[in-house]
């Protein structure tokens, strides 16, 4: 089972547009996510980072106003679908907890009797950690700018797991940084994703590859394009800038990748492959695999590290996976989840940083839960977004999604989860996608 090479994510029509498809798939997911939360009598809050000293006040207020309008639109669609017009629970916009060094995002395992974290727990989780957990937490904070220990660049959240059920928490697990991985074309060869629907890779002659053509290269040359999904790949047509250039890259995109890998410490487990698709598995997801494997007394955390990451909330990809597997996120944002991905198989370990290895059965179980949740949520979102509620330019994408999903979920296809992950390889801010789909101008 190889990649799907079609004009759009959803159809192969000459008029298909993968950007419009991605917008609609993500909007269906967010809307369905909200519906499921409301059905469970839970409020839904999407957060931005709080205003900090030196921020542009007007810009920050515009971002909050935009998020508030999007949240209201989602809430209106969800409540109309559910037949509830007024009252609680609600969908709303808000702000995440103020950032400080060592502040965390927490995944609370719903069936284990844990209480939701307080603001104090998020800003400083020390009181909630075991003795061993505190040691690891302090080590991660101490090495806040050490790329030999953990990834410290843009989006640097380091995962770790504390086990409050063992004596003094003697065996915390971490650090677990975000990593770049290769997405397999033949999923049957990977034990955790066996039988999954094939992922989408644009056709080689499609215009969407244009921005990924390396500066100074022609399309006929080998290695002419940046691989699909690689963060920053759409800047390949630009010359390197005045940032460091540790691998003497000849274009801006490869320069960015070399900085992330060589200077900021992100491990690339894809062997630099430009042929297929690259994905990024975040530290929280790695922590959840380990927490689930080692028992309900384990709590997964993500810690912000480095200078470039201060947002104490989970991206859409993480939030969906966390909710699907029972580890409710402490905060959710609608920024970017660029090429977010679960693990597709066991890891090779060229860096010596992946012990203990994650059991393949654990990955298979949690990935299956993720797939089922995606199917449920996207179908709900699709039903709650009739053509009367969305911009006309998305009518074809809506029909394409409806046709691809078919009548019911099929265990041997996992269509919805593949489509959601495909949409996240078309990079963009989710709040902007929703604004366009909901025709908010």
- Band of the pLDDT at 85, cuts 50, 70, 90? low
CA neighbor of 440 nearest in space, from 69, 134, 32? 69
Q: Give one DSSP letter per residue of 228-287, joined into a string.
A: BT-TTGGGTTSPP-SS--TT--SSHHHHHHHIIIIIT--EEESTT--SSEEEEE-HHHHH
| pLDDT at residue 77 in the model | 95
Mean pLDDT on 206-213: 95
CA 111 to chain centre: 24
Q: Which residues contact 344 (CB under 8 A, 6 or more apart)?
A: 181, 183, 184, 187, 190, 192, 193, 279
| pLDDT at residue 410 in the model | 78
CA neighbor of 71 nearest in space, from 38, 39, 119, 110? 38
Q: Does residue 295 have a pLDDT over 90? A: no
pTM here is: 0.94
- Band of the pLDDT at 346, cuts 50, 70, 90? low
Pairwise CA distance, residues 107 & 121, whole Å: 12
Which stretch, 81-90, 191-200, 346-355, 408-417, has highest mean pLDDT? 408-417
| pLDDT at residue 64 in the model | 96
- Model confidence pLDDT, tens digit, residues 211-266: 999 999 998 888 899 999 999 999 999 999 999 999 999 999 999 999 999 999 99
Question: What are the structure tokens assigned to 140, written together?
Answer: 């991660």
| pLDDT at residue 309 in the model | 74
Helix axes 430-437, 18-39, angle to 10 degrees: 90
- Model confidence pLDDT, tens digit, residues 386-439: 999 999 999 999 999 999 999 888 777 789 999 999 999 999 999 999 999 999
Question: What are the structure tokens assigned to 85, written together?
Answer: 């017009």
**Comparing 86-95, 297-306, 361-370, which segment has the lowest mean pLDDT?**
86-95
Mean pLDDT on 124-138: 89
Do residues 341 and 281 touch, judged by C-beta distance below 8 A?
yes
* CA distances, 249 to each of 81, 99, 214, 276 (Å): 51, 34, 10, 21
Q: Does residue 165 have a pLDDT over 90? A: no
Mean pLDDT on 17-32: 98
Which comes out higher in pLDDT, residue 106 or 85? 106
- Band of the pLDDT at 1, cuts 50, 70, 90? very low
- Band of the pLDDT at 147, cuts 50, 70, 90? very high
| pLDDT at residue 189 in the model | 47
| pLDDT at residue 114 in the model | 60
Which stretch, 90-99, 231-240, 268-277, has highest mean pLDDT? 231-240
| pLDDT at residue 323 in the model | 94
């Amino acid at each position: 089972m190889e990649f799907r090479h079609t004009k759009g994510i959803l159809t192969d029509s000459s008029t298909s547009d993968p950007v419009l498809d991605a917008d609609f798939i993500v909007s269906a997911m967010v809307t369905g996510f909200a519906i499921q939360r409301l059905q469970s009598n839970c409020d839904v809050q999407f957060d931005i980072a709080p205003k900090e000293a030196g921020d542009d006040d007007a810009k920050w207020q515009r971002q909050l106003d935009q998020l508030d309008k999007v949240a209201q639109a989602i809430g209106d669609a969800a409540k109309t679908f559910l037949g509830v017009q007024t009252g609680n629970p609600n969908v709303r916009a808000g702000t995440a907890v103020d950032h400080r060094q060592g502040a965390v995002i927490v995944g609370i395992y719903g069936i284990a009797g844990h209480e939701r974290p307080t603001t104090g727990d998020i800003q400083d989780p020390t009181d909630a950690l075991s003795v061993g957990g505190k040691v690891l937490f302090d080590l991660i904070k101490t090495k806040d700018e050490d790329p030999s220990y953990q990834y410290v660049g843009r989006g640097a959240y380091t995962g770790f797991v504390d086990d409050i059920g063992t004596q003094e928490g003697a065996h915390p697990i971490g650090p677990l940084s975000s990593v770049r991985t290769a997405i397999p074309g033949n999923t049957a060869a990977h034990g955790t994703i066996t039988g999954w629907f094939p992922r989408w890779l644009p056709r080689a002659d499609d215009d969407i590859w244009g921005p990924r053509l390396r500066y100074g290269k022609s399309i006929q040359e080998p290695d002419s394009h940046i691989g699909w999904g690689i963060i920053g790949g759409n800047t390949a047509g630009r010359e390197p800038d005045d940032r460091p250039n540790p691998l003497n890259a000849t274009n801006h995109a490869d320069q960015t990748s070399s900085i992330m890998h060589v200077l900021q410490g992100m491990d690339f487990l894809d062997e630099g492959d430009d042929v297929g698709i690259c994905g990024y598995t975040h530290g929280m997801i790695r922590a959840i695999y380990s927490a689930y494997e080692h028992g309900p007394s384990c709590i997964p955390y993500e810690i912000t590290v480095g200078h470039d990451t201060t947002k104490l909330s989970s991206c859409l990809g993480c939030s969906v996976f966390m909710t699907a597997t029972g580890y409710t996120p402490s905060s959710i944002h609608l920024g970017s989840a660029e090429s977010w991905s679960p693990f597709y198989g066991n890891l090779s370990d060229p860096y010596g940083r992946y012990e203990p290895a994650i059991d393949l059965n654990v990955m298979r179980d949690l990935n299956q839960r993720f797939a089922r949740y995606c199917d449920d949520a996207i179908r709900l979102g699709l039903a709650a977004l009739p053509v009367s509620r969305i911009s006309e330019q998305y009518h074809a994408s809506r029909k394409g999604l409806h046709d691809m999903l078919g009548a019911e979920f099929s265990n041997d296809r996992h269509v919805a989860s593949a489509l959601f992950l495909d949409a996240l390889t078309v990079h963009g801010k989710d709040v902007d996608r929703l604004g366009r789909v909901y025709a908010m101008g």
